[in-house]
């Protein structure tokens, strides 16, 4: 029997029991749940990563839904036995979730897209510049009291103007990163871009490469010794996606052998740990998975996660466009009666939310709106 876990309780007499394994930023998400008849229990344990036993103890024997850690068969079946029907990650990536196990147990899995695109791209752009211009090394040098006057060779880095930026994984975040890096000065020729035929072409040609793929079997160790070897010796490699996309042991060896090759890393293969030797590399800028850490974004993520589970409790349909979640984020407005993003909606046969204006247009046969829906790959409108 798992030992009890410390919790903070909101709206103790609420009909539905919602458990959050972490305290999340802001208060709107708490209000939204408490005002809708949910008893909210927030885990207040100080350890960062909860064990399976800790989470089992939190689920207990009656739990309607669960917000946010590594989730597989053991936890989803326990949630189901406790009467639970929904789980939401407070993240857009859900490689920590075994969605098949959730499907088997009939649990809806939410995530939080659309609210962290720019904030993550901004961090990737910051890492690109910080690595290229050796900002962290220079900062440490300054604080150590080592600066004794301007020198022509002091912390010479890479000029990015006119260089080639490669983006691997041009989804929402990769595209936002590209837009940020392609800024041009007034009067200059527009920046050009092309879709590379192979990933190897990007690795060979680019001076700065930012990784934005999802993590799955096909992207595990996408950056391996062979691919590191074809990159330019002075390239900058940035990763704000998921750690295992890079073979980190091979990366450490590459950084040792190529002191002018630089990396900016937000994520690590064995998070929260770094592979031996990485922390000693001056040509690596490392930050603790903070890509989405802006106040607006983190509060928005908490709100979307809460609304995913609340929507499931209320029997709401799933929002039709996870790229456009602003209506859920307006601080003082009532959010739409929908779950913002349920990744296994199709598998669970959930209905999609279609805004009233679009329903009207659909009924009059407006083709452009049907096209809009199919572009979003949300065609299975069982009912509107």
Ligand X SMILES: O=C(O)[C@H](O)CO
Question: Is residue 21 near ligand X by the rule CB under 6 A?
Answer: no
The reply to whether 133 belongs to the active site is: no
The reply to whether 45 belongs to the active site is: no
Q: How far is the CB of 277 from ligand X (least distance, A)?
A: 24
105 vs 241 by CB, closer to ligand X: 241
Separation CA 346–CA 348 (nearest Å): 5
Query: Residue count at the site for ligand X (CB under 6 A)?
Result: 6
Question: Is residue 116 near ligand X by the rule CB under 6 A?
Answer: yes
H or E segment to which residue 88 belongs: strand 86-88
172 vs 275 by CB, closer to ligand X: 172
Binding-residue pattern over the window 327 to 366 for ligand X, x denoting contact by CB under 6 A: ----------------------------------------
Q: How far is the CB of 288 from ligand X (least distance, A)?
A: 11
Helix (H, G, I), strand (E, B) or coil at 236: strand
292 vs 344 by CB, closer to ligand X: 292
CA distances, 285 to each of 115, 123, 136, 280 (Å): 25, 12, 7, 11
Binding-residue pattern over the window 75 to 114 for ligand X, x denoting contact by CB under 6 A: ----------------xxx---------------------
Chain centre distance of CA 365: 37
Q: How far is the CB of 173 from ligand X (least distance, A)?
A: 9
Separation CA 105–CA 282 (nearest Å): 47
Q: How far is the CB of 128 from ligand X (least distance, A)?
A: 17
Separation CA 62–CA 82 (nearest Å): 4
Separation CA 156–CA 153 (nearest Å): 6
Q: How far is the CB of 264 from ligand X (least distance, A)?
A: 15
The reply to whether 242 belongs to the active site is: yes
The angle formed by the CA atoms of residues 348, 351 and 353, to the nearest 5 degrees, is 140
Residue of 242, 298, 350, 378 with catalytic role: 242
Closest CA to 303 of 283, 320, 326: 326
How many Cα atoms sit within 13 Å of 189 on the Cβ side? 5
Separation CA 310–CA 108 (nearest Å): 11
**Sites for ligand X among residues 232-271 (CB under 6 A):** none
Question: Is residue 291 near ligand X by the rule CB under 6 A?
Answer: yes
Question: Is residue 168 near ligand X by the rule CB under 6 A?
Answer: no
Which of 85, 292, 321, 341 binds ligand X (CB under 6 A)? It is 292
Looking at the chain, how many residues does it have? 384
- Residue 135 CB contacts under 8 Å (≥ 6 apart), including other chains: 129, 285
The residues that touch ligand X, with contacts defined as CB under 6 A, are 91-93, 116, 291-292
Active site residues: 242, 271, 289
């Amino acid at each position: 029997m798992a030992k009890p876990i410390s919790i903070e309780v909101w709206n103790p007499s609420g009909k539905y029991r919602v458990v959050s394994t972490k305290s999340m930023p802001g208060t709107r998400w708490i209000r939204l749940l408490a005002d809708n008849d949910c008893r909210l229990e927030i885990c207040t344990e100080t350890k960062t990563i909860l064990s399976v036993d800790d989470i089992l103890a939190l689920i207990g024997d009656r739990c309607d839904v669960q917000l946010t850690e590594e989730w597989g068969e053991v936890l989803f079946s326990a949630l189901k036995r406790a009467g639970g029907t929904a789980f939401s990650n407070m993240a857009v990536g859900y490689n920590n979730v075994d969605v098949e196990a959730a499907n088997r147990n009939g649990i809806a899995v939410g995530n939080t897209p659309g609210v962290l695109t720019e904030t993550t791209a901004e961090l990737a752009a910051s890492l690109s510049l910080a690595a290229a211009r050796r900002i962290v090394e220079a900062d440490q040098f300054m604080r150590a009291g080592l600066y004794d006057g301007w020198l022509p060779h002091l912390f010479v880095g890479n000029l990015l103007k006119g260089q080639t930026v490669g983006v691997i994984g041009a989804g929402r975040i990769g595209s936002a990163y590209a837009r940020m890096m392609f800024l041009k000065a007034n009067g200059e020729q527009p920046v050009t871009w092309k879709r590379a035929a192979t990933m190897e072409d990007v690795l060979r040609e680019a001076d700065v490469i930012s990784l934005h793929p999802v993590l799955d079997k096909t992207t595990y160790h996408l950056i391996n010794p062979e691919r590191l070897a074809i990159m330019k010796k002075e390239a900058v490699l940035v990763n704000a996606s998921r750690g295992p996309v890079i073979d980190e042991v091979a990366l450490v060896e590459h950084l040792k052998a190529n002191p002018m090759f630089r990396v900016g890393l937000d994520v690590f293969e064995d998070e929260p740990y770094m592979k031996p030797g990485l922390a000693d590399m001056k040509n690596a800028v490392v930050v603790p998975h903070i890509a989405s850490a802006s106040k607006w974004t983190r509060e928005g993520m908490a709100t979307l996660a809460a609304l995913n589970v609340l929507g499931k409790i209320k029997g709401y349909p799933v929002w039709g466009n996870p790229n456009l979640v602003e209506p859920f984020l307006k601080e003082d407005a009532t959010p739409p009666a929908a779950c913002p993003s349920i990744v296994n909606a199709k598998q669970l046969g959930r209905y999609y939310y279609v805004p009233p204006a679009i329903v009207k247009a659909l009924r009059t046969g407006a083709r452009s709106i049907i096209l809009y829906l199919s572009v979003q790959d949300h065609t299975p409108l069982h009912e509107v």
